[in-house]
Amino acid sequence: MAGKTLTRADLAEAVYQKGIVTKDHAAELVGQVLGTICTALAEGENVKLSSFGVLTLRDKAQRMGRNPKNGVEVPIEPRRVILFTASPILKAKLNHTAPQRRRASRQVLRSANEQHEAAS
C-alpha cells in the first residue's frame, strides 16, 4: 500500500489554507505544537490528543537478540519507546464505520439509580 507521507510542511500548508495566519506563522505554530509534544514525551508524560489518540512511553529492559546475518547473540540495550494508541473515533474513520459508543456497566447504572432515589 503505497501512499504519500504527510510532512511537517504539509501540516503547515493545511493551517495556512484556512486563511487565518501567514505561511511563516503556520509553520511556526506547527513547530511549536510538535515541540511541545516532544518535550512532554521527553519528560516522561503521556500525550492525549482528543479524537486522535494517545502517545505513551514504555521502558524496555535489556534483552538478548540475534544478528540475522551470522546468528551471533548480541545484547540489546534498554531503551524507551513510544506507543501510539488510536482513539475509537480515529479507528472508525479509518474503517469507514460509526464510532462505537461505550455503554455504562450495570453496576454504574444501578449506583446512579440508587443515588437518584436517595436524593428524592
pLDDT in tens, 76-120: 999 999 999 999 999 999 998 877 766 655 665 666 666 666 665
| CATH number, domain with residue 61 | 4.10.520.10
Give the three cell numbers for residue 97. Answer: 464505520
Give the span between the Cα atoms of 114 and 120, in whole angstroms. Answer: 10
Q: In degrees rounded to 5, what are phi and psi of residue 99?
A: -65, 140
For residue 106, the enclosing domain spans 87-120
- Is the same domain home to 35 and 2? yes
- Is the same domain home to 34 and 66? no
- Is the same domain home to 30 and 51? no
Examine the fold and report which residue of 43, 60, 75 is the final residue of a domain before the chain moves on: 43
For position 3, what pLDDT does the model report?
78
Q: What pTM was estimated for this model as a whole?
A: 0.70
- Is the same domain home to 91 and 117? yes
- Is the same domain home to 8 and 28? yes
Number of domains in the chain: 3
